[in-house]
């Protein structure tokens, strides 16, 4: 019974980690763009996940910085949403 319970707990932990990975790891397509209007500023200065992202992606994740400087606007530069400061 004890081993079964430990197994269930491990499975739950793996599922939670998998969901967190999908939600919090940056999806490369989230920064892709064609025109400037595709890009929006997300978050505020000091957030872990501020920056410029494609407005059509709801999963915008932190790029590993836990304190970032939010751009004032965004532009599509070479197919990627880039911040303008």
* Domain map (residue ranges) of the chain: 2-84
Residue-level pLDDT at 60: 53
Residue-level pLDDT at 38: 94
**pLDDT band per the 50, 70, 90 thresholds, residue 2:** confident
Give the tens place of pLDDT for each residue, 30-79. Answer: 889 999 999 998 878 877 768 888 998 865 555 555 677 889 999 999 99
The pTM assigned to this predicted structure is 0.58
Give the tens place of pLDDT for each residue, 73-85. Answer: 999 999 999 999 8
Residue 51 CA, chain-centre distance (Å), reads 10
**pLDDT band per the 50, 70, 90 thresholds, residue 11:** confident
Asked whether the beta carbons of 53 and 39 are under 8 A apart, the reply is: yes
């Amino acid at each position: 019974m004890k081993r079964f319970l430990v197994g269930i707990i491990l499975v739950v932990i793996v599922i939670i980690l998998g969901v967190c990975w999908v939600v919090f790891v940056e999806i490369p397509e989230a920064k892709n763009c064609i025109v400037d209007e595709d890009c929006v500023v997300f978050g505020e200065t000091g957030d872990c996940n501020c920056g410029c992202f494609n407005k059509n992606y709801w999963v915008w994740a932190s790029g590993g910085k836990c304190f970032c400087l939010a751009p004032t606007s965004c532009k599509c530069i070479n197919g990627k949403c880039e911040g303008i400061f």
